[in-house]
Structure formats: C-alpha cells, structure tokens
Amino acid sequence: MKFLDEYRESATATQLARLIRETAHRPWTLMEVCGGQTHTIVKSGLMDLLPSEITLVHGPGCPVCVTPVELIDKSIAIAALPGTIFCSFGDMLRVPGSSKSLLDVKASGADVRIVYSPLDAVKLARAYPSREIVFFAVGFETTAPANAMAVWQAEREGIRNFSVLVAHVLVPPAMEAILASPNCRIHAFLAAGHVCTVMGWEEYEPISQRWHVPIVVTGFEPLDLLEGVQMAVAQLEQGRAEVENQYRRAVRREGNRPAQARIAEVFEVAPRKWRGIGEIPLSGLRLRERYRAFDAEERFPVGVGVVEESSECIAGLVLQGLKKPFECPAFGTRCTPEFPLGAPMVSSEGACAAYYLYGRRPCEGSESELPSAAPSR
Ligand code: SF4
C-alpha cells in the first residue's frame, strides 16, 4: 500500500499541522473545491488538527450535487421510454428529482444500468442495436475527456443508437461566481487536483490575479490537503496571491493537452444551471453542432418544464461555502442518506453525506459559525 500509506502518515500530518499553526496569525477561510477533498477532510478529522484561525468551507465541486433537478427529471423521463437502456454512474441513481429518482424508475421496470465508463455504454449500443442507449454525462473537466471520447468513438463507428444526456460543468466559472458574491468569505482556494490533471492551472492564473486570491492545486489524501492548506496560509500571511501546485506528482501547468483537444473537438462552452445556485454564464459544456445527433435532449424531447427545488434544502448555500451541512435544519432528521431531500446527502462527493457518515458536528465554536468579516483577500 505504498502510495496510500505515504500520504496518510500521522507523524507528518502532525508536523504539517504544527507548521500551519506557526504560520497562521490571522483568521482565514479556505475553500476546498472538490467534494472528494471534502470527504477526506471530514473523514480524516483534519479540521480538528487546524488552529482556530483557519476555517475550511466546502465548495461546489460535487457534480452530482450541482446537476439541476430539471435534468434529473429529464433523465427519469428518458429512462422510462420503452426500448431505452439508460446508463449512469452509480451515485446519480439515488439523487432526488422533483418527485422520484432514477432508482425509483428502475424499480418500476425501466432498464437503468450502472456503468463504470461511458465506453461501457458504447459497448451496450453495439450489443443492442435495436435499443436506444443513453449515457448520463455528468461531471467536471475530469470526466469530460472520457465522455468526449465515447461520442467521438460512436461517431467514427457510425453507431446511431447511442446518445448522451450532457450535464457537464466547469470549475473556473464557479469559482468566479463564488468570489463575485457579496457574501463571499473565501480568502483562498484549494483547487481540485484531478480537474487540473486534465486542464492544468493556466486558467486559474487570471482568477488569482483578478481577485487577489491564492489558489493551490491540491490532491486528495490527508497530507496533500494539509500541505495545500499550509501553502495557501503562507501566501495569505505574506500578502501573496498566486497559483501554486501541491499535487506535483500528477499535475503539470499545461495539463493534458490531448485530453483538452478531445474535449474541445466534441464539446463547446455554454451557459449551465447549477442546482441550488442558478445559472452561471459559460460554466458548462454542450455537444458541438457536428455531434448534436448524439444529444439525448434533442433526440428525446421529453418536456419537464420548470421544476421547483425542495424549499427545505439549503444545498446552494452549502455548495457556496456559506453554510455547513449541520446548519441545515433538515440535516440528519428529515434528510438522511436513506431519505435524502437534496443531492449533497446522497452523492459520494456530497458535503452533507460526509458530515452524516463521519459524524461531524460543530466543535468548540470555531466551526459553528463562519467569520462574518473577511480580512483583505
Ligand atoms: S442536509 Fe439535506 S436538505 Fe440539508 S442541505 Fe444537505 S442535502 Fe439539502
């Protein structure tokens, strides 16, 4: 277990925590962008290691959580069409739409299948030429290359019974939307390492400069996150605002150019609605004109209209780092993983699920309220 133990080693974690304590002299609020990072932070108890000056809030980087209810409803309507095989990653199945989930429609007899790659869905399309195979293409820039590759492959092979329901979102516009909010309390970001493995970090440099905010590309293991925090706090204390790379073992500044080229060939940037947050300009991907025949929304025009989100669920505030999950009145009572009101309680990257699963509650004041005033960013 060489590559796991090395990044979970407690003596090094203690040293990093001491270094953070020695570095931090003022209150700083840091946001980790990715829900996978949130789970590591909460599961490993990293917040308990940090000094009271440092507050970690959790960002919008859970693609399942930010997929709008309308699109969940659309996936359910398409999955229920006769002759369709609807394919998805597993954690979309239990996400509540306006009245039911994909799991409910599967229980009613629809052919909904969990796949581990969009190329598995292309295989199904080859195997069942008389059926319509639809893949739910959810995710950030991390999953976009594989989804683009699936569409590209289907086009090359002339496969006509394959399509994708696209719900792709992009990280940089979401970070800018958070920074532009009058309620923003974020002083630094821990950027999502896997997204940057694909995209690099060049596109974060204008954000860092424009908003004078440190951005540290950070990995997913406990020591990655502690080192990312330490790097961000050092910048803040020194008055610097730069993009730095903690995740050196996986990320290069330019990212993965071939993967970026495949994304750009198949997808184009488009406005996208985020669940609980609303529409963010140029924050998503849609299929380019050449590949529009693979667009499930065009192939299956199932009308679902405008859908209201649960009035009880404050996921939008959680995803923008304005509230912690335990500040939601429904947390752990009317909203649990078995009976979720919102996607963050059921997604494997959801902040509410992390707090519920690992039993986190406010501890000794520092976590129970976010700082009301932001020192200079
Ligand atoms: S605890 Fe449930 S209802 Fe509350 S914000 Fe999280 S997902 Fe929404």
Distances (CA, A) of 218 to 54, 207, 211, 306: 17, 17, 19, 37
**Residue 339 CA to ligand 1 centre (angstroms):** 11
| Closest among 363, 376, 116, 135 to 236, alpha carbons compared | 376
Reported as a single tens digit per residue, the pLDDT across 242-262 is 999 999 999 999 999 999 999
**Residue 345 CA to ligand 1 centre (angstroms):** 6
Instruction: Tell me which residue has tokens 């909010």.
Output: 181
Ligand 1 contact via 95 beta carbon (within 6 Å): no
| Residue 184, H or E segment | none
CATH number of this structure's domain 1-301, picked from the four choices 3.40.30.10, 3.30.230.10, 3.30.360.10, 3.40.50.11740:
3.40.50.11740
**DSSP type of residue 304:** -
Q: Which residues of 91-113 are buried (b: 16+ CB within 10 A; e: fewer)?
A: bbbbbbbeeebbbbbbeeebbbb
Q: What is the pLDDT at residue 361?
A: 60
What's the CA gap between 284 and 272, in Å, rounded? Answer: 5
Q: What is the pLDDT at residue 360?
A: 61
Q: For residues 321 and 185, is the Cβ–Cβ distance under 8 A?
A: yes
Ligand 1 contact via 335 beta carbon (within 6 Å): yes
pLDDT-derived band at 5 (thresholds 50, 70, 90) equals confident
What's the CA gap between 44 and 62, in Å, rounded? Answer: 19
Ligand 1 contact via 352 beta carbon (within 6 Å): yes
Amino acid letter, 154: A
Which pTM value belongs to this model? Answer: 0.91
**Residues 172-193, mean pLDDT to the nearest whole number:** 95
Residue nearest to atom 1 of ligand 1 (CA): 331
Q: Determine the residue of 69, 95, 318 to mutate for testing ligand 1's pocket, defined as the one with the most ligand atoms within 8 A of the Cβ atom.
A: 318
Every domain of the chain with CATH number 3.40.50.11740 lies at 1-301
Reported as a single tens digit per residue, the pLDDT across 81-113 is 999 999 999 989 989 898 899 999 999 999 999
What's the CA gap between 125 and 162, in Å, rounded? Answer: 6
Lowest mean pLDDT among 113-127, 233-247, 266-280, 285-299: 266-280
**Does position 306 have pLDDT exceeding 80, yes or no?**
no
**Does position 2 have pLDDT exceeding 70, yes or no?**
no
Distances (CA, A) of 202 to 196, 206, 229, 341: 9, 8, 20, 37
Ligand 1 contact via 313 beta carbon (within 6 Å): yes
Q: How far is CA 226 from the centre of its chain?
A: 20
Residues 6 or more apart from 127 whose CB is under 8 A from it?
none
pLDDT-derived band at 222 (thresholds 50, 70, 90) equals very high
